[in-house]
Copies of this chain bind each other. A is one copy, B any other.
Amino acid sequence: MPKIVDHDERRREVLSAARRVIVRDGIDAATTRAIAKEAGYSNGVLAHYFADKDEILLSALRQSHQRIRDRLTRKVEGATGLAALRELLLDNLPLDAERTQESRLEVSFWSRSLASERLAEVQRTEADELRAAVRDLLAQARAAGELRSTDDNLDDLTEHLLALVDGLSLHLLLYPGRLRRVDVERLMLQALDRL
């Protein structure tokens, strides 16, 4: 009996290869040819699964976000309000090898999104989900009396925390001699304590 090709499995393999190439060599270097080589497939096989390079990149970004969500669901399990928010924000920082790869992938997409409306749109949709999650948890925390101030605007607090997550992630990746993981974790927890 001929071996049956598992299409989902192949797509996942190609996307994992794309993630490895982007993180290792930069997003400029992630050509379809380089991704095919990394995955061990021909360009023709890739073309069968993805329309073009952008579709591979976008799928790789979405796959990464799905992994983050799945992991977070396991971590947060049952927590609400401030405790859940703490898990969520720390989980978005490059505090171990896996999350460092994820953050490098994010940073790679930022600059590319500025030059491509198609990428920017996906980036926005994905970011809106994270934003809504943070906002909901802040509202829970306020309802539970966990926030010090009762007059701070929750939208502003949300934006402040999310800007901090991306800024700290970026600085930890770019300036490893200036910031260590423990510094970034402390800075994030301080920001939460001030709420």
Contact = CB atoms under 8 A, between A and B. Distances in A.
B173 A112 contact: no
A112 B26 contact: yes
Nearest to A190: B156
Interface string A23-44: 0011111000000000000000
Nearest to A124: B175
Nearest to A123: B174
A56 to B, nearest CB: 15
Interface in A9-55: 25-29
Interface of A: 25-29, 104, 107-116, 120, 123-124, 127-128, 131, 156, 159-160, 162-168, 170-171, 173-175, 177-179, 183, 186-187, 190-191, 194
B112 A110 contact: no
A124 B174 contact: yes
B162 A164 contact: no
Contact of A131 (B25, B109, B114, B178): B178
Contacts of A123: 174
Copies in the complex: 2
Contacts of A113: 174
Contact of A26 (B115, B174, B190): B115
Contacts of A173: 114
A128 B162 contact: no
A174 B120 contact: yes
A190 B108 CA distance: 30
Given A110-B174, A174-B110, A28 B115 contact: yes
Contacts of A194: 194
Given A159-B183, A162-B167, A114 B108 contact: yes
Contact of A28 (B112, B168, B174, B175): B112
A159 to B, nearest CB: 6
A111 to B, nearest CB: 5
